[in-house]
Every structure is written in C-alpha cells, then in structure tokens.
C-alpha cells in the first residue's frame, strides 16, 4: 500500500456473529491491542450489535459500520434498515454488495448501486465489495466482471463523494475457504480496479482511493498482502472475531 497518498483501512466484517454482550466483550479485548494503530480500524457488526459497538468504541478512534442497508429512507420494507437510520445512531460505515448478500439475498449490481447511493446520501462511508467466483476466474472474465461491478456501483457517485468510498476486492472463492488469493493475484485485481476508477474519474481520484483485499486474510498472510502496492487494507471475516489475530493484521497495516 502507498500510505503517502491514501489511508490504509483494516475493517472487520463480523457477519452474523456475536450477541451485543459478546460484541462488547470482543471490543474490550480489541481496544487495547489496536490503540496505537497506524491505520484506520473499523468493525462492521450485525445491526443488533451497533449500539453496543458504538458505546464500547466511543473515544477510541475505532469506526463502527453496518453490514448492509436499504436504499429507501423509510417505508413499508419489513425487516430492512435504512442508511439514514444507521447514520442517526452515529454509525459511520456500511458494507455494500458483499458476495454473501449477492449470493443468498438476491442483491444485484443494480440494488448494490441503489444501496451505495443511499448510504452516501446519508453521509456514510461505503465499503463496496466486488469480486469474481471461481467459475468466472476460470472463464478468464475476472477483469471484465470486477470492472463492471465497480462501474455500475459507482454510477452517479461524484468525485467528491468518492472520498467516502472504499472498494473491497473479495474473490468469492477465497471467502471463508482458507484459500487466499496470492499477493500477486490480489494486487493485480486491486490495480485493475484503480485503473477503472482512473477511467471514470481521474488519476488523482484513483490514487487516493483505498482498495482493500478480503478473503481468508489472517494474521499470517496479512503482511505479504498488505505489502503489495495496490492493496490498501483488508476486509476481514473470520480473523476479525479473534482479537489477537485482528490486532496482528492491524499491526501489519501499520508497518506496511
Ligand atoms: P473471511 O476472512 O472469513 O474469508 O471472510 C472474508 C469476507 O467475506 C470479509 O467480508
């Protein structure tokens, strides 16, 4: 990563794990371990844990995010939570377009664009996930697919708003599988995303954009991944649920 031109961001994605009491306990464990972090640290947690997470992290510099949001401000959308609602609580980040949402909950490039738009309108920072399946990688369409996902999601996002967008490259085949992309594979696609952003905006905007890698990033492989020039951080699933492992990744980002 190139910390002279952009922020390194390590974000935990807790997925559907931890009750509010467990969230508080995990954050109490994480807090002292990351207090000297030289990168931005974020925890994205289930909706029910947001209040506990905001309380536990108050005054620490650790950012709190949700894992999804709806595109309408309010209305008859049973079970949904709007970006405005998240912002009103003090939530700063939201993950949009995670592959698990695309795979299990019918999210499409179009709904991802709508959710991202709503999140930006509410003042949130969006962690926008893109990435190919194994089948798509084997078909040789990774570059086109990831470019298309990014282009659709960024439709209507101004250059100014782009400062509140982080793109997370998460190859679907590397998520929760223990099969990490090699550092070269991760860097290649992160660099390609930066090219797409350069085409859409300009070189300055592309250079300033934080692009994370996600997919089985852990305490052991983080340093190598984060040493790549175009990998500016990580979106961490499993390893973010273990305080020492998460802290180790934050440390790798601080050094790298
Ligand atoms: P794992 O780190 O568990 O592979 O999950 C990655 C991920 O999906 C982060 O959003």
* Domain locations along the chain: 9-255
Catalytic residues: 98, 170
Is pTM, for the whole model, over 0.85? Answer: yes
Ordered DSSP codes for the chain: --TTTS--EEEEE--S---HHHHHHHHHHHHHHTTT-SSEEEEE--GGGHHHHHHHHTTT--EEEES--BSSSSSS-TT--BHHHHHHHT--EEEES-HHHHHHS---HHHHHHHHHHHHHTTPEEEEEE---HHHHHTT-HHHHHHHHHHHHTTT--TTGGGGEEEEE--GGGTTSS-PPPHHHHHHHHHHHHHHHHHHS-HHHHHH-EEEEESS--TTTHHHHHTSTT--EEEESGGGGSHHHHHHHHHHHHH-
List, for residues 225-241, the tens digit of each pLDDT value.
Answer: 999 999 999 999 999 99
Q: How far is the CA of 214 from the centre of ligand 1 (A)?
A: 6
What kind of fold does domain 9-255 have according to CATH? TIM Barrel (3.20.20)
217 lines ligand 1 (CB under 6 A): yes
41 lines ligand 1 (CB under 6 A): no
List, for residues 156-209, the tens digit of each pLDDT value.
Answer: 999 999 999 999 999 999 998 888 889 999 999 999 999 999 999 999 999 999
């Amino acid at each position: 990563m190139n910390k002279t031109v952009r922020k390194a961001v390590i974000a935990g994605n807790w997925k559907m794990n931890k009750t509010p009491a467990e969230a508080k306990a995990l954050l109490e464990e994480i807090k002292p371990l990351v207090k000297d972090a030289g990168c931005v640290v974020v925890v994205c947690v289930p909706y029910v844990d947001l209040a506990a997470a905001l309380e536990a992290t108050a005054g620490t510099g650790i950012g709190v995010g949700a894992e999804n949001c709806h595109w309408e401000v309010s209305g008859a959308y049973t079970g949904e939570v709007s970006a405005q609602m998240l912002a009103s609580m003090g939530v700063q980040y939201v993950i949009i377009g995670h592959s698990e949402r695309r795979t299990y909950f019918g999210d499409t490039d179009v709904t991802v664009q709508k959710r991202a738009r709503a999140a930006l309108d509410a003042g949130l920072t969006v962690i926008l996930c893109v990435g190919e399946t194994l089948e798509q990688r084997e078909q040789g369409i990774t570059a086109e697919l990831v470019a298309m996902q990014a282009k659709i999601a960024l439709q209507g996002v101004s250059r100014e708003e782009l400062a509140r967008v982080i793109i997370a490259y998460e190859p679907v085949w590397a998520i929760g599988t223990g099969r990490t992309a090699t550092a070269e594979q991760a860097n290649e696609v992160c660099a390609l995303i930066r090219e797409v952003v350069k085409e859409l905006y300009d070189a300055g905007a592309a250079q300033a954009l934080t692009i994370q890698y996600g997919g089985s990033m852990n305490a052991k492989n983080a340093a190598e991944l984060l040493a790549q020039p175009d990998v500016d951080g990580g979106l961490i699933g499993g390893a973010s649920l273990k305080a020492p492992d998460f802290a180790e990744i934050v440390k790798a980002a601080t050094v790298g």
